[in-house]
Amino acid sequence: MLLNEIAGEIRSMEVRGAGRIARTAAAALRDHATAYEGADVHLFKEYMDEGAATLLATRPTAVSLPNAVRFVMNAKEGAGTVPEAQEAIRKAADLFILSSKHAVEWIGEIGARHISDGDVVLTHCNSEAALACILTAHRQGKDLEVFATEVRPRNQGLLTIRALNDAGVKTNYIVDSAVRSFINDVDLVVTGADAVTANGAVVNKIGTSQIALAAHEARTTMLVAAETYKFAPRTLLGERIEIEERQTDEVLDPAVAATLPNVRVRNPAFDVTPARYVDEIVTEMGAIPPTMAYVIIRDHLGWGIEEFHKNFELDE
């Protein structure tokens, strides 16, 4: 499939979920590189840069996408020929995809240790990593009950309850606004993340921050499952993560909207949960308090001061 077609699928949410988006982008860059038939390495690098820009323009909030693109694209630096650059990109893309899949497995194992036999767990949106925690605990023989939200307006909760149903997990399906009504029946909230900032704030599907606030009020543990490539290096310099606002027709039929000239439909896809409402972030490197997000960015993603100078051209 052509890179432009894959970009369209990411933009339209046919490909959804931060991890899946990242792996799909890495595979698209690999296949895009393989399809190049020229011999000029400089033209090849320009060709790849254009493809990367196309992918980066699709979804502005999930930092897994730029982190995946950066990881794959950095591999071509230093290559002297087109075949060398193509091979470097192929290896980097395959490594990222494999590492991403293993990360979800490790998060599942670590997250399952936080779930006890008999627990009632609430989850929001359709997160690979969050589901891995729940399903791993279920496979370990723990008796669980899950509350899964509808997740308006795209109803990603349907994907979640199908996965839980197929695994044989007892599940309650609720509208997003019913969370506070059930939060006192819940032992643990487990969500995913589309981005984690340097100060430990979590960007995730719209509604997550309200759930975190309700959990905080009820003294219910709030666990976030996130691969380390969802941590946002640029937030170290105070750069804010752009919150994507999607088409209004996802919320209101255009024919109805046309009859309401004084009504503006707002459709943000994500919100920000402050670090103080998150108890732990479960990564493939282990479970950490939100205050350690900076350490993940510095030590695991390698964004020290030299990286700042390289990417932002800061003065010493």
DSSP assignment letter at 297: I
Compute the distance between CA of residue 299 and CA of residue 81 in angstroms, rounded to an integer. Answer: 32
DSSP assignment letter at 196: E
Quickly tell me which residue has 């979800």 as its tokens.
Answer: 104
Could you tell me how many residues make up the chain?
A: 316
Three-state secondary structure of 73-93: HHCCCCCCCHHHHHHHHHHHH
Helix or strand (DSSP H, E) at 68: helix 64-74
Joined tokens for residue 245:
């606002």
Joined tokens for residue 220:
């219910």
Cβ 157 vs Cβ 179: under 8 Å: no
Please, which residues have CB within 8 angstroms of residue 185's CB and are 6 or more apart in sequence?
A: 120, 147
Strand partners, 140: none
DSSP assignment letter at 37: -
Closest of 204, 176, 206, 187 to residue 275, by C-alpha: 204
State the first-to-last Cα distance of the chain, in angstroms, to the nearest integer.
Answer: 45
Joined tokens for residue 260:
């309401």
Compute the distance between CA of residue 193 and CA of residue 19 in angstroms, rounded to an integer. Answer: 10
Compute the distance between CA of residue 27 and CA of residue 23 in angstroms, rounded to an integer. Answer: 6
Which residue out of 119, 133, 176, 194 is catalytically annotated?
A: 194
Residue 194 annotated to the active site: yes
Closest of 189, 20, 184 to residue 101, by C-alpha: 20
Which residue out of 119, 125, 176, 279 is catalytically annotated?
A: 125
Round the CA-based radius of gyration of the chain to a whole number and report it: 20
| Residue numbers annotated as active site | 125, 194
